[in-house]
Amino acid sequence: MKTLLLILGYLSCCHSAAISVSVDPCVNHKVLDQPWRSVKCLNQNCSADWQCDRNLVAGWYRFNGSGGSIIPETVVPINQCSTQATGWLNGSHPTPGDGEVTRRVCFHWSGNICQWTQEIKIKRCSDYFVYDLQETTNCNLAYCTAEAVIPTLPPRPQTATSSASGVNGKQFKLEITLMGDFDVESIQKIILELKLSLKDRFPDLDIHLSVGDD
């Protein structure tokens, strides 16, 4: 805890600081909600043109919306998902305890269910998955999606606690004050990750971000 306070103190005293934090992809990701990715979309019924992920910007994504929420774990026939070579997950999705895992996506084409392959990373979050997707090497190749029911995590066992909580029975609050130019959205994501990482050990920890002008 002393190290944490020193780090926060450094951020509050300086006008500008270089922040290097490994941001949890469950917090820091983009959302892909294109309906055309659905395995139910045959040929070009859901899109005017064949779709391709060759121009997809590499990074962490969450699938959400009517198109589906996961990459299917079974072979997808060609000419579905509004693309010609259909991308499916050749493996299983991770459990929460697995953390980030590496899996292979196969693209089905020309009688070969793995005509092309692409390694990606996957992480299970609370009730959804995030994928570290890479652009495809050719067109028309695209990642397909399907609907899925992801079981919620079992409730955490409750343990008896005294009425006083916090550290040594005392509640406390940490307040971070940042001076100078900075990206507020990025800082807020860092604060959220910090609260998530400390919530089990310090359930009453309350972190607030305030912006000062001097």
The predicted model gives 169-177 an average pLDDT of: 56
Q: Are 76 and 153 in contact (CB under 8 A)?
A: no
Q: How far apart are CA 150 and CA 139, in angstroms?
A: 31
The single-letter DSSP state of residue 166 is S
Q: How confident is the model at residue 7 (pLDDT cuts 50, 70, 90)?
A: very low
Burial category of 95 from C-beta neighbours within 10 Å (exposed 0-12, middle 13-18, buried 19 and up):
exposed
**For position 196, what pLDDT does the model report?**
72
Backbone angles phi, psi at 195, to 5 degrees: -65, -40
Cα–Cα dist 132/24, whole Å: 12
Round to whole Å and give the CA distance between 196 and 174: 14
What pairing do the DSSP bridges indicate for beta strands 112-124 and 101-109?
antiparallel
Q: Which residues face 167 on adjacent strands?
A: 170
Pairing label, strands 30-32, 59-63: parallel
Domains of the chain: 30-143 (no CATH), 167-214 (3.30.429)
Mean pLDDT value across residues 98-122: 97
Residues 6+ apart with CB under 8 A from 140: 50, 51, 52, 83, 84, 85
Please name the helix (run of DSSP H) or strand (run of DSSP E) that holds residue 109, with its range, or none: strand 101-109
| CB distance 123 to 133 below 8 Å | no
The predicted-structure confidence for 16-28, as pLDDT tens digits, reads as follows: 444 444 589 999 9
Q: How confident is the model at residue 111 (pLDDT cuts 50, 70, 90)?
A: very high
DSSP letter, residue 192: H
Give residues with Cβ within 8 angstroms of 171, minimum separation 6. 165, 204
Per residue in 67-84, pLDDT tens? 999 999 999 999 999 999
CB contact at 8 A, 77 and 42:
no
SS3 89: strand
- 34 pLDDT above the threshold of 60: yes
Q: Give the C-alpha separation, 183 to 179, whole Å.
A: 11
Helix (H, G, I), strand (E, B) or coil at 131: strand
